[in-house]
Amino acid sequence: MKEYIDRKEAISAIREYRGYFQDQKSTDMMLLKMEAENILKDLETFDIVPVVHGKWIYTGKEMWRCNNCDNEIAGYDKMPSEYGVNYCDRCGAKMDEVEE
């Protein structure tokens, strides 16, 4: 599985890094950091959206409510996820939270 990092945070971490190469001449250190920044800037970017998790809550008469946005859907005698309705069609929450 791919893992993603925030480019701005990565560049900031490089700029603030004070590690093993701390004893290098400051110009060498600065050049190393600039090279690392340029590598990160050249990498491909992706639009990533955080996953919002939710769950269906039964409200009666085959009605289910999204616990994240209160959207209601009708016509399911069992948990909508059992019919393949795994996302709220209003807020996009992934309905994989379980009752505690």
Q: Using CB under 5 A as the criterion, which residues of the chain lie in contact with Zn ion when the complex forms?
A: 66, 68-69, 71, 88, 90-91, 93
Rounded to a whole number of angstroms, the minimum distance from the CB of residue 92 to Zn ion is 7
Q: Give whichever of 35 and 72 is closer to Zn ion, judged by the CB atom.
A: 72
3-state secondary structure of 19: coil
Helices 7-16 and 26-42, axial angle in degrees (round to 10): 170
- What is the nearest approach in angstroms of Zn ion to the Cβ of residue 66? 3
**CA–CA distances in Å: residue 66 to residues 30, 62, 70, 85:** 51, 13, 5, 11
Cβ proximity to Zn ion, 55 vs 68, nearer residue: 68
User: Quick check: 93 and 54 in contact, CB under 8 A?
Assistant: yes
CB of 93 to Zn ion, least distance (A): 5
Q: How far is the CB of 97 from Zn ion (least distance, A)?
A: 12
In the complex with Zn ion, which residue's Cβ is closer, 28 or 62? 62
With CA atoms as reference, report the closest residue to 53 among 6, 88, 89.
Answer: 88
Nearer to Zn ion, 5 or 52 (CB): 52
